[in-house]
Amino acid sequence: MKINSPETVQECIELLRQGVSVEECLERYPDEAVALEPALRAAVSLSSGLAAELPLTTRARVRSRVLGEWDRQSQPRRWNLSLPVFVPKWAFATAILVLALALGGLGTNTAAANSVPGGVLYPVKEFREGVQLWLARSPEAKVEMYTSLVKERVAEVKKIAAQKQTDQADIEAISDALARMEVHLTALNIVVANKLSDGAVEDANLGFVESLQESITEQDTAGSVLEKVLAEVPTEVRSDLRDALKALQTAQGRVDAALEAVK
């Protein structure tokens, strides 16, 4: 007999919120009533105990403070370059890239290369990386490209961490860069696995072996940098960073195994 599952408690909490009493709820689940009752009584007390109302004066004070900050920030907000709904992101990035090139934008390109997630010029960087990835046709070129992207994401995390800011925007930016890094590592693993599958090991050329060796070295460096950065990033993203380090170790292990297989 299934007794007092978390699922049943959840169902009863929803019923309580619809006005059903604890007793009625227990009647619906007689087999579980004894075990359910304490949790449901606690849920009822909790709902009433935590149902503090936000006083109108507090609401108004907070609103005034928040919107006051909005007004203060409104000048720089002009530079957020928000997109109209009908403009796709790639079109925006292309437009910026074309503009940057047309205006002799060496400076813009350099600025884009130095940008971090959330930055105004980051779409340019993303677009350029997308093009480079598309141009990388061979497995070794793809391994090199993904390795270089991992390195770039680590550099972004390091750059943001060095600013020692704890704003939500910085936390999101670090989290974004780490998530992107994990995507690159997954893609790298897929490229390596595809190359090794279906008897392709015999075809593994020197270029591919070298790209794997280079990837291991770069991933080593990336791991060391992230470990050093761990103490500098806001506490909120440390678990993300530890997850990224684990992903890096896993990827390294896979590339290492692939290298052994093709040598």
Partner 1 sequence: MLENQDDEEKALILSAQRGDRDAFAQLYEANVERVYRYLLSRLHEPADAEDVTAEVFIQAMKALPSYKARGTPFIAWLFRIAHNQAINYMKKQARRQETPLLETAATHDGPDEEVIDRIRFGEVVDAMGALTDLQRHVLSLRFAGELSIAEVASVMKRKEGAVKFLQFSALRALRRAWSQQEAGSHEN
**Candidate residues 3, 34, 42, 99; the one interacting with partner 1 per rule CB under 8 A:** 42
79: its two tokens:
């530079």
Q: Is 18 in the site for partner 1 (CB under 8 A)?
A: no
Q: Is 74 in the site for partner 1 (CB under 8 A)?
A: yes
Residues 180 to 209: which contact partner 1 by CB under 8 A? none
Q: Is 90 in the site for partner 1 (CB under 8 A)?
A: no
Q: Is 50 in the site for partner 1 (CB under 8 A)?
A: yes
Q: Is 51 in the site for partner 1 (CB under 8 A)?
A: yes
Q: Which is nearer to partner 1, 19 or 84 (CB)?
A: 84
Q: Which is nearer to partner 1, 61 or 228 (CB)?
A: 61
Q: Is 62 in the site for partner 1 (CB under 8 A)?
A: yes
Backbone angles phi, psi at 118, to 5 degrees: 95, -15
**Candidate residues 167, 203, 220, 227; the one interacting with partner 1 per rule CB under 8 A:** 167
- Rounded (10°) CA dihedral 9, 12, 17, 22: -110
Q: Which is nearer to partner 1, 12 or 143 (CB)?
A: 12
- How far, rounded to the nearest angstrom, does the alpha carbon of residue 140 sit from its chain's CA centroid? 26
**Candidate residues 3, 21, 80, 203; the one interacting with partner 1 per rule CB under 8 A:** 80
Residues of this chain that interact with partner 1 (CB under 8 A) are 4-7, 9-10, 13, 38-43, 45-55, 58-59, 61-63, 65-67, 69-71, 73-74, 77-78, 80, 82, 84-85, 117-118, 166-169, 171-173, 176, 234-236
